[in-house]
Amino acid sequence: MHRKYIKALLCAVLLLGGCAPKNEQKQSNNDTTTDVSRDEAHEEITWDLIQMVEHNDEIRSLLEESIELAHEINPDPQTNPVDSLESYYAFVDRTVRCMPWEIEPYGEKRLLYERIDQSMGCLYFVIDQPLPELKDKDYFHNSIMYHEPFRSWWTEFLSVNGTFLSSAESWNDEYYKAALKEPGFKLDQDLYEDPKNWHSFNDFFARKLKDSSKRPIDEPDDDSIITAPADSEPQGIWQIDENHKIINADSEEQNGIAIKTGTLTDVSVLLKGSQYAQSFANGTLTHTFLDIDDYHRYHFPVTGTVKEVLAIPQDDAPGGVIVWDQKEQRYKEYYSETIGWQSIETRGIVIVETEKGSLVAIVPVGMCQVSSVNFEETVKPGTFVKKGDPLGYFMFGGSDIIMIFSENAGFTMSAKANEHLEMGNTYGRIR
């Protein structure tokens, strides 16, 4: 995906080492809080799901239906090892403390990038099936993933997985050597800090540059030049009308621009909660995508004074709709054709005012798994920043940055859509 279970007998050790062993602690026989048997060892998060299913007939029915639909589309146990509730429970047990490339069991022969990409598809596919019962719920996609209480359980599952990916258990020399062999991560180019600083997978994923010279900033003293906030691919530029609506949208939806999972038509909704949400009428919007193997720290694209810093935790959605391409035998990600806009992704908002009084909203958007958006401790209202200064970082899963410019900024984009930039490269210009 450019943007984005398993039966017990399939829980074998994968190429780079198996997933962490499951929690063997069992519930006491004296526990009468539930009629669900805990005679078999499961992860606590799996027991939470089992109890939900046993006590909620609707969730049981929807989950079984979703599993059945996914299995009909892709019955291959190598790429979709779930065909029942029991196999989904086993899949949850295995993947909650699993490396990102180990989720899909067939991945050993692929490059690490492809294994991560397809594992993400495998993780979401079973629970991202369109269910007729949810069609009129006004969800981004009518799948169980967006339906409570499964939605809350799923968010907690990803949180537990994120805790594992930030633990020492998630990183070792063997994993480092695997990433070192992958050209896309560029670990052999003397770009990054000492690998000895990486004590978890997320330390590696949010790795720092060796020093600022590794990503020089174009025209550092020319405040009219806007630079790329991250190593990423610009997706285009869109105008905003007087009602804060996107106009001249050239995305698949024709009624808005796809921003990760949601469909954006109203900029003020994206900035909901910000005192500056109504400040971008007749302005411009652009966004830029970070891929799995990109440098995942982001930097200020503009010089000015920080006016506001917000964090908005929401869904950890996959960045589209996950489908199985039968011809290519792989998972792919498609944006919905839903008309309208729904902001469902975890995101942050930083508002910067330039010395000429124009406003720039910088919105890092998370997706998938951890879906983490983090700001540097130095990023506070009132702080003067220069383009290229550290802004924050994504842990595993985050990968879009939106920039919105007020009308008086007069932003024009010089970067070409879908051509990769390094952080600090020229992206466009303001007055």
Residue 40 CA neighbour count, 13 Å, CB half: 10
Q: What is the DSSP letter of 412?
A: E
DSSP state of 290: P
Task: Return the SS3 of 421.
Answer: strand
User: For residues 183 and 168, is the Cβ–Cβ distance under 8 A?
Assistant: no
pLDDT of residue 40: 65
Q: Give the pLDDT of residue 312.
A: 82
**Mean pLDDT (10-residue bins), the chain, 431 residues:** 35 42 43 50 96 98 99 96 97 94 74 89 94 90 94 92 95 96 95 98 97 98 98 92 77 53 73 94 93 95 98 64 92 54 67 98 78 89 98 85 96 97 99 95
Half-sphere exposure in the Cβ direction for 160 (13 Å, CA): 20
Are 421 and 231 in contact by the 8 Å Cβ rule? The answer is: yes
List, as one string, the DSSP characters of 323-339: EEETTTTEEEEE----S
Amino acid at 335: Y
CATH 2.70.70.10 domain residues, the chain: 218-429
Q: For domain 218-429, which CATH number applies: 1.10.287.1080, 3.40.190.10, 2.70.70.10, 3.90.230.10?
A: 2.70.70.10
Is the Cβ–Cβ distance between 313 and 338 less than 8 Å?
Answer: no
Type and span of the H or E element at 350: strand 347-353
Question: Cβ–Cβ contacts within 10 Å for residue 329, how many?
Answer: 13
